[in-house]
Chains A and B, each alone.
Chain A
């Protein structure tokens, strides 16, 4: 699913434009525990949905080569975090949907979890 389509189906606001807005998103993960995200180095998660709003979410995305971070429940990070994401070339979205619904809608539209 194209990143631009992901933005539409979860009614997201684009807070930081990533390097590649035409990115095809195949694999995503949803987590508030960053160590859980990093438990799998072989994962090819391109998108991370999270309710955790702090700079370490952007750092984790950087280490894991995650291209898109989606903050759920309408959370909006501060300027410092957005600048950090911009510097790292990471796209940042904010959706009003809660975690479960946002993940469910993306899944229904063809975005899968790791190893599926």
Chain B
């Protein structure tokens, strides 16, 4: 099996100026590897929403990206407060984001639903007081 291309990024908490750098770097890498524009866009949007979530809710975290020949796995790992009720957090419009997130155009309860919508698979591991890992898979062929 061919080894995947691995990318790693630090996500800084409450840094709304640079938030999105990890997703931007990943988008560039996928484009460079010749992945279809539609798949690149889906991966970029899903990762960007997850990255923003880590900035807003968890004082940042890390991003790990594994690019295979036919899919990409994106993992956003934080040591934030955890999500008490994942099914509630998955509902469009449900939000616990502070005002600063809304001032940036986010925090309207669309983040997790948008990630789900744009990925082929999404899983959330979360523990209260320990953190959350969101794993996103986007396949390149529909």
Contacts and interface: CB of A to CB of B under 8 A. Distances in A.
A63 B45 contact: yes
A60 interface: yes
A56 B110 contact: no
Given A55-B17, A63-B23, A63-B48, A32 B105 contact: yes
A41 interface: yes
A26 to B, nearest CB: 17
A41 B104 contact: no
Interface string A24-55: 00000000111110110110000000101011
Contacts of A50: 105
Given A33-B105, A34-B105, A56-B105, A39 B114 contact: yes
Interface residues of A, number: 22
Interface string B19-55: 1100110010000000001100110110011001000
A54 B45 contact: no
Interface of B: 16-17, 19-20, 23-24, 27, 37-38, 41-42, 44-45, 48-49, 52, 103-106, 108, 110-111, 114, 117-118
